[in-house]
Amino acid sequence: MRDLEEHLARLVAHDTTSRRSNLALIEDVEAHLDAHGVTHQRVPSADGTRAGLIARIGPAREGGVVLSAHTDCVPVEGQPWSRDPFTLHRDGQRLSGRGTTDMKGFVAAVLAAVPAMVSAELARPVLLALSYDEEVGTLGAPDLVAALLASQPRPSAVLVGEPTELRVVTAHKGVRVITTEVEGRDGHSSQPQHAANAVVAAARLAVAIDELARVHREAAVDSRFDPPYTTFNLAMIEGGQAINIVPRTCTLRWEYRPVPADDSEAILEQVRRIADQQVVPALTADTGAGGVRFRVEAVARALAADDGPAEQLARLISGDTRPAGTVPFGTDGGHFQAAGLSTVVWGPGSIAQAHQPDEWIAASQLEACAAGLDRLIDHLRH
């Protein structure tokens, strides 16, 4: 347990809040891998301020296992922490600090297992895949997955170590975050016939999205989830300058979380058609001016159960015989599955402690995860 805590303390000490650099943490991990002779490669972000990391322990042979984790965490600002969030504290079984459960605890367990992996003379490899900016839309995962498949023999299974209390989870919803910008024509409020009101257009679109949400709610297509349907959230609307000016611009921010059975791209295209066929004609009717633009800010792919090698492996190393679970949050796992890799979510800690002040993980969960990784090592020897 001592090695686990030491690794977790080093990881927590790095403030890797999303959209901040994670390079200091990556350097720490690289130094640990270098000390054990493990080869690795970075997958940098476009601006070079962040990076993913790929490492292989074992032979360059197909059929290995990917251990996937993100290195970023959510902010602490505005939360009533009782102690420094970037210093690991132990209180009985509780190890507290930002990111302990989501998901630096899993990374710590993997790093602690590296010496055993190296000395095991594995027949099939372990592939470590660390991403960045997962919390703001799995932004680092697509390049990471592409780089892994381009540089390594094809693995047979992916274990994403998000907090599931070590239950085998085979499905989760996706997430898509959209910014919609409406531009009309401003004018004096006494002469609205010479203007194009962007707030009205945005409101029309918002009502249409809310109606689409009702349709999905009534369909209730997947009882494994709570709620059992694709959800929509109209989160922010901003527009206008003064009470006597017809507003020229308005911005609507919204998201939807599709169940695996719903086509995420088709949902967005449906909203685009509503804008093109209903909202824009009304906006431009008097002046001919106006338009609507959509910008996808973040995408987390849904994960669908595949009853494949990843689930079988996770059950083998965990001993979990319960029915496969689902989680309401998104992960990097959907990107691995979209690339044709069998993927499940399995990791220590509870999502109930994630994103909270005084976030914590139970030491017993870390120990149980470490035991599962020991069984994985033994499995890959043969």
pTM: 0.88
Contact 18, 355 (CB under 8 A): no
DSSP per residue, 227-261: SSS-EEEEEEEEE-S-TTEE-SEEEEEEEEE--TT
pLDDT value of residue 382: 80
Both 202 and 222 in a single domain? yes
What CATH code is carried by the domain that includes residue 33? Answer: 3.40.630.10
Same domain, 318 and 377: yes
**Looking at the structure, do residues 284 and 340 belong to the same domain, yes or no?**
no
Tokens of 317: 């190393």
Q: Are 167 and 179 part of one and the same domain?
A: no
pLDDT at 307: 87
Single out the residue in 256, 282, 300 at which a domain terminates. 300
Instruction: Using DSSP, state whether 298 is helix, strand or coil.
Output: strand
Other Cβ atoms within 10 Å of 353 Cβ, number: 18
CATH number at residue 284: 3.30.70.360
Tell me: do 68 and 10 sit in the same domain.
yes
Examine the domain organization and report whether 150 and 219 are in the same domain. Answer: no
Eight-class DSSP state of 157: E
The CB density around residue 48, as the number of other CB atoms within 10 Å, is 10
> What gap in Å lies between CA 340 and CA 329, rounded to an integer?
21
Torsions phi, psi of 80, nearest 5? -85, 70
Same domain for 259 and 310, yes or no, is no
What whole-number distance in Å separates Cα of residue 171 and Cα of residue 260? 8
Q: Which helix (H) or strand (E) holds 187?
A: strand 187-188
**Residues 79 and 113 reside in one and the same domain:** yes
- Are residues 220 and 185 part of one domain? yes
Same domain, 68 and 105: yes
For residue 141, give the H/E element and its range: helix 141-151
d(CA 99, CA 72): 8
Yes or no: say if 184 and 195 are a contact pair by the CB < 8 Å rule.
Answer: yes
Q: Are residues 263 and 312 in the same domain?
A: no
Per-residue pLDDT of the chain (382 residues; tens, 9 = 90+): 679 999 999 999 999 998 899 999 999 999 999 999 999 999 999 999 999 999 999 999 999 999 999 999 999 999 999 999 999 999 999 999 999 999 999 999 999 999 999 999 999 999 999 999 999 989 999 999 999 999 999 999 999 999 999 999 999 999 999 999 999 999 999 999 999 999 999 999 999 999 999 999 999 989 999 999 999 999 999 999 999 999 999 999 999 999 999 999 999 999 999 999 999 999 999 999 999 999 999 899 999 988 899 999 999 999 999 999 999 889 999 999 999 999 999 999 999 999 999 999 999 999 999 999 999 999 999 8
Q: Rounded distance, CA 224 to CA 51, Å?
A: 35
Between β-strands 51-57 and 39-44, what pairing exists: parallel, antiparallel or unpaired?
antiparallel
| Cis amide leading into 236 (omega within 30) | no
- Are 155 and 127 in contact by the 8 Å Cβ rule? The answer is yes
Question: What values do phi and psi take at 148, rounded to 5?
Answer: -60, -45
Rounded distance between C-alpha atoms, residue 185 and residue 249, angstroms? 8
From the list 364, 368, 365, 320, the residue with the least C-alpha distance to 344 is 320
Task: Show the domain range for 356.
Answer: 2-172+303-381
- DSSP states along 22-89: -HHHHHHHHHHHHHTT-EEEEEE-TTSS-EEEEEEES-S-SS-EEEEEE--B---TTS--SS-TTS-E
pLDDT at 1: 66
The half-sphere exposure of 261 on its side-chain side, counting CA atoms within 13 A, is: 11
Domain C-terminal end among 267, 282, 300: 300
User: Last residue of a domain, which of 300, 320, 350?
Assistant: 300
CB contact at 8 A, 338 and 296: no
Query: Domains in the chain: how many in total?
Result: 2
154 shares its domain with 181:
no
Paired sense of beta strands 343-345 and 157-160, if any: parallel
Catalytic residues: 72, 134
